[in-house]
Homo-oligomer: A and B are copies of this chain.
Amino acid sequence: MNKNLPVYFSKQDGDLWLTEEEREDLKISYRIKEILFEGQSEFQHVMVLDSYSFGRMLVLDGIVQTTSIDGYIYNEMISHVPLCIHPEPKKILIIGGGDCGAAKEVCKYAVVDQVDMVEIDKLVVEVCQHHLPEVSGPLADSRVQFIYDDGVNFAENKENEYDVVIVDSSDPIGPAKSLFEKSFYQSIHKSLKADGLMVCQSQSPIFHQEVMQQTYQRIGELFHFVKLYTAVVPTYPGGLWSFTVGSKNYINPDPARLKDKETHYVNKDIIERCFSLPQFMIEQYPPFENN
Protein backbone atom coordinates (compact mmCIF):
# COMPACT_ATOMS: atom_id res chain seq x y z
CA MET A 1 0.00 0.00 0.00
CA ASN A 2 2.85 2.38 0.81
CA LYS A 3 3.81 2.54 -2.85
CA ASN A 4 0.41 3.85 -3.96
CA LEU A 5 -0.24 6.13 -1.00
CA PRO A 6 -1.73 9.48 -2.16
CA VAL A 7 0.55 12.49 -1.66
CA TYR A 8 -1.51 13.76 1.28
CA PHE A 9 -0.28 10.97 3.53
CA SER A 10 2.85 10.13 5.44
CA LYS A 11 3.84 7.13 7.52
CA GLN A 12 5.38 7.63 10.97
CA ASP A 13 6.32 4.72 13.21
CA GLY A 14 3.88 2.53 11.31
CA ASP A 15 1.01 5.03 11.69
CA LEU A 16 -0.74 6.67 8.76
CA TRP A 17 -1.11 10.48 8.96
CA LEU A 18 -3.05 12.89 6.74
CA THR A 19 -1.52 16.37 6.70
CA GLU A 20 -3.49 19.32 5.33
CA GLU A 21 -1.07 21.40 3.29
CA GLU A 22 -3.42 24.19 2.13
CA ARG A 23 -1.97 26.79 4.48
CA GLU A 24 1.60 27.88 4.13
CA ASP A 25 2.16 28.52 7.84
CA LEU A 26 -0.07 26.12 9.73
CA LYS A 27 -0.39 22.37 9.23
CA ILE A 28 -2.90 20.03 10.82
CA SER A 29 -2.17 16.30 10.84
CA TYR A 30 -4.72 13.59 11.61
CA ARG A 31 -3.83 10.03 12.57
CA ILE A 32 -5.79 7.75 10.28
CA LYS A 33 -7.23 4.33 11.05
CA GLU A 34 -8.33 3.43 7.55
CA ILE A 35 -8.82 4.73 4.03
CA LEU A 36 -12.46 3.83 3.32
CA PHE A 37 -12.59 5.35 -0.16
CA GLU A 38 -10.05 7.00 -2.43
CA GLY A 39 -10.60 8.11 -6.00
CA GLN A 40 -10.28 10.91 -8.52
CA SER A 41 -13.42 12.48 -9.98
CA GLU A 42 -13.54 14.79 -12.98
CA PHE A 43 -13.28 17.70 -10.54
CA GLN A 44 -11.18 16.72 -7.55
CA HIS A 45 -9.50 14.03 -5.49
CA VAL A 46 -12.07 12.44 -3.15
CA MET A 47 -11.49 10.40 0.02
CA VAL A 48 -13.39 9.16 3.02
CA LEU A 49 -11.04 8.37 5.91
CA ASP A 50 -11.62 6.94 9.34
CA SER A 51 -9.58 9.04 11.79
CA TYR A 52 -8.83 8.64 15.49
CA SER A 53 -9.75 12.20 16.54
CA PHE A 54 -12.76 13.02 14.36
CA GLY A 55 -14.20 9.69 13.25
CA ARG A 56 -14.99 9.46 9.53
CA MET A 57 -13.96 12.44 7.42
CA LEU A 58 -14.73 13.60 3.86
CA VAL A 59 -11.45 14.86 2.35
CA LEU A 60 -11.40 16.74 -0.98
CA ASP A 61 -8.03 17.51 -2.63
CA GLY A 62 -6.41 16.66 0.70
CA ILE A 63 -8.54 19.09 2.78
CA VAL A 64 -10.94 17.90 5.48
CA GLN A 65 -14.49 19.07 4.61
CA THR A 66 -16.71 17.46 7.21
CA THR A 67 -16.44 14.79 9.88
CA SER A 68 -18.80 12.45 11.67
CA ILE A 69 -18.09 14.01 15.09
CA ASP A 70 -18.68 17.67 14.22
CA GLY A 71 -20.30 17.81 10.76
CA TYR A 72 -23.71 18.41 12.32
CA ILE A 73 -22.64 21.80 13.67
CA TYR A 74 -21.93 23.32 10.27
CA ASN A 75 -24.88 21.63 8.56
CA GLU A 76 -27.40 22.62 11.23
CA MET A 77 -26.15 26.22 11.25
CA ILE A 78 -26.27 26.72 7.47
CA SER A 79 -29.80 25.24 7.28
CA HIS A 80 -31.88 26.02 10.37
CA VAL A 81 -30.94 29.70 10.56
CA PRO A 82 -32.32 30.64 7.07
CA LEU A 83 -35.31 28.33 7.56
CA CYS A 84 -36.13 30.09 10.82
CA ILE A 85 -35.88 33.49 9.09
CA HIS A 86 -38.19 32.75 6.13
CA PRO A 87 -41.81 32.34 7.27
CA GLU A 88 -42.78 30.00 4.44
CA PRO A 89 -39.74 28.32 2.85
CA LYS A 90 -41.40 26.06 0.30
CA LYS A 91 -38.83 25.79 -2.48
CA ILE A 92 -35.16 25.50 -1.55
CA LEU A 93 -32.02 25.50 -3.68
CA ILE A 94 -28.82 24.07 -2.20
CA ILE A 95 -25.67 24.74 -4.21
CA GLY A 96 -22.79 22.46 -3.27
CA GLY A 97 -23.46 20.57 -0.07
CA GLY A 98 -22.39 17.26 -1.58
CA ASP A 99 -22.18 15.70 1.89
CA CYS A 100 -26.02 15.94 1.89
CA GLY A 101 -26.03 17.22 5.48
CA ALA A 102 -27.73 20.53 4.63
CA ALA A 103 -30.40 18.70 2.59
CA LYS A 104 -30.98 16.36 5.52
CA GLU A 105 -31.58 19.32 7.88
CA VAL A 106 -33.82 21.19 5.42
CA CYS A 107 -36.02 18.09 5.09
CA LYS A 108 -36.86 18.36 8.81
CA TYR A 109 -39.29 21.20 7.89
CA ALA A 110 -42.73 20.00 6.81
CA VAL A 111 -43.37 23.34 5.09
CA VAL A 112 -40.67 22.54 2.51
CA ASP A 113 -42.12 21.21 -0.78
CA GLN A 114 -39.02 20.88 -2.94
CA VAL A 115 -35.24 20.85 -2.46
CA ASP A 116 -33.09 21.23 -5.58
CA MET A 117 -29.62 20.04 -4.65
CA VAL A 118 -27.08 21.12 -7.25
CA GLU A 119 -23.69 19.53 -6.68
CA ILE A 120 -21.03 19.51 -9.36
CA ASP A 121 -19.46 16.24 -8.25
CA LYS A 122 -21.68 13.15 -8.22
CA LEU A 123 -18.87 11.08 -6.70
CA VAL A 124 -18.95 13.20 -3.51
CA VAL A 125 -22.68 12.55 -3.04
CA GLU A 126 -22.27 8.84 -3.68
CA VAL A 127 -19.36 8.27 -1.30
CA CYS A 128 -20.95 10.37 1.47
CA GLN A 129 -24.23 8.49 1.27
CA HIS A 130 -22.31 5.23 1.41
CA HIS A 131 -19.55 5.99 3.92
CA LEU A 132 -20.73 9.01 5.96
CA PRO A 133 -24.27 8.19 7.14
CA GLU A 134 -23.76 10.25 10.36
CA VAL A 135 -23.51 13.37 8.20
CA SER A 136 -25.66 12.67 5.15
CA GLY A 137 -28.28 10.49 6.80
CA PRO A 138 -30.42 8.06 4.88
CA LEU A 139 -31.48 10.82 2.50
CA ALA A 140 -34.37 9.13 0.76
CA ASP A 141 -36.76 12.07 0.89
CA SER A 142 -38.80 12.39 -2.30
CA ARG A 143 -38.74 16.20 -2.01
CA VAL A 144 -34.98 16.23 -2.81
CA GLN A 145 -33.99 16.42 -6.50
CA PHE A 146 -30.30 15.67 -7.09
CA ILE A 147 -28.93 17.72 -9.98
CA TYR A 148 -25.30 17.13 -10.96
CA ASP A 149 -24.37 20.44 -12.53
CA ASP A 150 -22.22 23.53 -12.08
CA GLY A 151 -24.02 25.72 -9.53
CA VAL A 152 -23.09 28.89 -11.45
CA ASN A 153 -24.69 27.64 -14.70
CA PHE A 154 -27.74 26.32 -12.89
CA ALA A 155 -28.46 29.55 -10.98
CA GLU A 156 -27.96 31.71 -14.11
CA ASN A 157 -31.03 30.13 -15.74
CA LYS A 158 -33.41 30.53 -12.81
CA GLU A 159 -35.69 33.49 -12.14
CA ASN A 160 -38.10 34.27 -9.30
CA GLU A 161 -38.24 30.61 -8.28
CA TYR A 162 -36.81 29.95 -4.81
CA ASP A 163 -37.67 31.01 -1.27
CA VAL A 164 -34.26 30.13 0.15
CA VAL A 165 -30.89 29.49 -1.51
CA ILE A 166 -28.16 27.82 0.56
CA VAL A 167 -24.64 28.09 -0.84
CA ASP A 168 -22.74 25.30 0.89
CA SER A 169 -19.39 25.58 -0.85
CA SER A 170 -15.90 24.41 -0.07
CA ASP A 171 -13.04 26.95 0.16
CA PRO A 172 -12.73 29.56 -2.63
CA ILE A 173 -10.10 27.54 -4.47
CA GLY A 174 -10.61 24.68 -6.95
CA PRO A 175 -14.17 23.88 -8.07
CA ALA A 176 -15.80 26.32 -5.60
CA LYS A 177 -13.90 29.47 -6.66
CA SER A 178 -16.72 30.81 -8.88
CA LEU A 179 -19.20 30.49 -5.99
CA PHE A 180 -17.59 33.58 -4.43
CA GLU A 181 -17.92 35.85 -7.52
CA LYS A 182 -20.24 38.85 -7.67
CA SER A 183 -21.91 37.57 -10.86
CA PHE A 184 -22.86 34.39 -9.01
CA TYR A 185 -24.55 36.36 -6.21
CA GLN A 186 -26.41 38.33 -8.93
CA SER A 187 -27.72 35.04 -10.35
CA ILE A 188 -28.79 33.91 -6.88
CA HIS A 189 -30.58 37.22 -6.34
CA LYS A 190 -32.44 36.76 -9.64
CA SER A 191 -33.30 33.12 -8.85
CA LEU A 192 -35.00 34.16 -5.59
CA LYS A 193 -38.62 35.23 -5.25
CA ALA A 194 -39.40 38.83 -4.28
CA ASP A 195 -39.21 37.91 -0.58
CA GLY A 196 -36.46 35.30 -0.89
CA LEU A 197 -33.18 35.03 0.99
CA MET A 198 -29.79 33.39 0.61
CA VAL A 199 -27.11 32.19 2.98
CA CYS A 200 -23.53 31.19 2.24
CA GLN A 201 -20.60 30.01 4.30
CA SER A 202 -18.15 32.93 4.27
CA GLN A 203 -14.98 31.48 5.82
CA SER A 204 -13.09 32.34 9.01
CA PRO A 205 -13.26 35.80 10.65
CA ILE A 206 -9.72 35.22 11.91
CA PHE A 207 -7.94 33.82 8.87
CA HIS A 208 -9.96 34.89 5.81
CA GLN A 209 -10.85 38.50 6.46
CA GLU A 210 -10.39 39.43 2.80
CA VAL A 211 -12.87 36.82 1.51
CA MET A 212 -15.32 37.71 4.27
CA GLN A 213 -15.16 41.45 3.61
CA GLN A 214 -15.62 40.85 -0.10
CA THR A 215 -18.60 38.52 0.45
CA TYR A 216 -20.24 40.94 2.89
CA GLN A 217 -19.74 43.84 0.48
CA ARG A 218 -20.99 41.98 -2.61
CA ILE A 219 -24.09 40.57 -0.93
CA GLY A 220 -24.77 43.86 0.86
CA GLU A 221 -24.80 45.75 -2.45
CA LEU A 222 -27.36 43.37 -3.97
CA PHE A 223 -29.77 42.60 -1.15
CA HIS A 224 -31.95 44.80 1.04
CA PHE A 225 -30.49 43.11 4.15
CA VAL A 226 -27.07 41.60 4.80
CA LYS A 227 -26.23 40.05 8.14
CA LEU A 228 -23.44 37.86 9.52
CA TYR A 229 -23.67 35.04 11.98
CA THR A 230 -21.06 32.69 13.42
CA ALA A 231 -20.67 29.15 14.69
CA VAL A 232 -17.83 27.04 16.02
CA VAL A 233 -16.59 24.41 13.58
CA PRO A 234 -13.84 22.46 15.35
CA THR A 235 -12.27 20.99 12.20
CA TYR A 236 -11.99 24.34 10.39
CA PRO A 237 -8.91 26.49 11.05
CA GLY A 238 -9.54 28.97 13.85
CA GLY A 239 -12.71 27.23 15.02
CA LEU A 240 -14.84 30.36 14.55
CA TRP A 241 -16.71 30.26 11.22
CA SER A 242 -18.90 32.85 9.49
CA PHE A 243 -22.10 32.70 7.45
CA THR A 244 -23.54 35.60 5.46
CA VAL A 245 -27.28 36.08 4.92
CA GLY A 246 -28.57 38.24 2.04
CA SER A 247 -32.31 38.85 2.16
CA LYS A 248 -34.87 40.76 0.11
CA ASN A 249 -37.44 41.05 2.88
CA TYR A 250 -37.18 38.99 6.11
CA ILE A 251 -34.13 39.17 8.38
CA ASN A 252 -35.14 38.27 11.97
CA PRO A 253 -35.26 34.58 12.87
CA ASP A 254 -38.28 33.16 14.66
CA PRO A 255 -36.79 30.40 16.84
CA ALA A 256 -40.30 28.98 17.40
CA ARG A 257 -39.97 27.42 13.95
CA LEU A 258 -37.39 25.03 15.43
CA LYS A 259 -40.13 23.34 17.44
CA ASP A 260 -39.89 19.54 17.46
CA LYS A 261 -36.85 19.48 15.16
CA GLU A 262 -34.25 17.04 16.42
CA THR A 263 -30.89 18.84 16.54
CA HIS A 264 -27.55 18.35 18.23
CA TYR A 265 -26.08 21.89 18.15
CA VAL A 266 -28.84 24.34 17.24
CA ASN A 267 -31.56 25.32 19.72
CA LYS A 268 -33.76 28.40 20.17
CA ASP A 269 -31.08 30.33 22.06
CA ILE A 270 -28.39 29.53 19.50
CA ILE A 271 -30.61 30.65 16.59
CA GLU A 272 -30.96 34.07 18.23
CA ARG A 273 -27.50 34.33 19.72
CA CYS A 274 -25.54 33.44 16.57
CA PHE A 275 -26.09 36.99 15.26
CA SER A 276 -24.39 38.50 18.33
CA LEU A 277 -20.92 39.12 16.98
CA PRO A 278 -17.63 39.52 18.82
CA GLN A 279 -16.67 43.18 19.18
CA PHE A 280 -13.91 43.04 16.55
CA MET A 281 -16.41 41.76 13.97
CA ILE A 282 -18.94 44.49 14.78
CA GLU A 283 -16.19 47.02 14.13
CA GLN A 284 -15.09 45.33 10.88
CA TYR A 285 -18.61 44.84 9.48
CA PRO A 286 -20.71 47.94 10.10
CA PRO A 287 -24.37 47.73 8.98
CA PHE A 288 -25.07 48.68 5.36
CA GLU A 289 -26.97 51.93 4.90
CA ASN A 290 -29.98 50.23 3.33
CA ASN A 291 -30.31 47.74 6.21
> Quick one: which of B70, B233, B272, B282 contacts A267, CB cutoff 8 A?
B282
A30-62 near B? 1/0 per residue, CB < 8 Å: 110000000000000000000111000000000
Residue of B nearest to A73 (CB): B278
Pairwise interchain contact A28-B25, C-beta atoms closer than 8 A:
no
**A265 at interface (Cβ–Cβ under 8 A)?**
yes
Contacts of A249 in B (CB 8 A): none
Residue of B nearest to A26 (CB): B53
Find the residue from A206, A266, A270 having the highest chain B CB count within 10 A.
Answer: A206
Residue of B nearest to A76 (CB): B279
Q: A69-B206, A269-B276, A270-B278 are in contact. Are A26 and B25 (CB under 8 A)?
A: no
Residue of B nearest to A267 (CB): B279
Total chain A interface residues with beta-carbon distance under 8 A: 42
- Chain A residues touching B, majority SS: loop
Would you give the shortest CB distance from A179 to chain B, in whole angstroms? 24
In whole angstroms, how far apart are the Cα atoms of A53 and B23 in the complex? 9
Contacts of A265 in B (CB 8 A): 278-280
Pairwise interchain contact B27-A52, C-beta atoms closer than 8 A:
no
Quick check: which of A111-119, A121-129, A234-242 contacts chain B, the rest being far away? Answer: A234-242
Contacts of A206 in B (CB 8 A): 69-70, 234
| Chain A contacts to B: CB under 8 angstroms | 17, 23-31, 51-53, 69-70, 73, 206-207, 230, 232-234, 236-240, 263-267, 269-270, 272-273, 276-280, 282
Known: A28-B28, A264-B279; 8 extra A-B contacts, CB below 8 A, are A24-B52, A26-B28, A27-B29, A29-B29, A53-B207, A230-B232, A263-B279, A272-B273
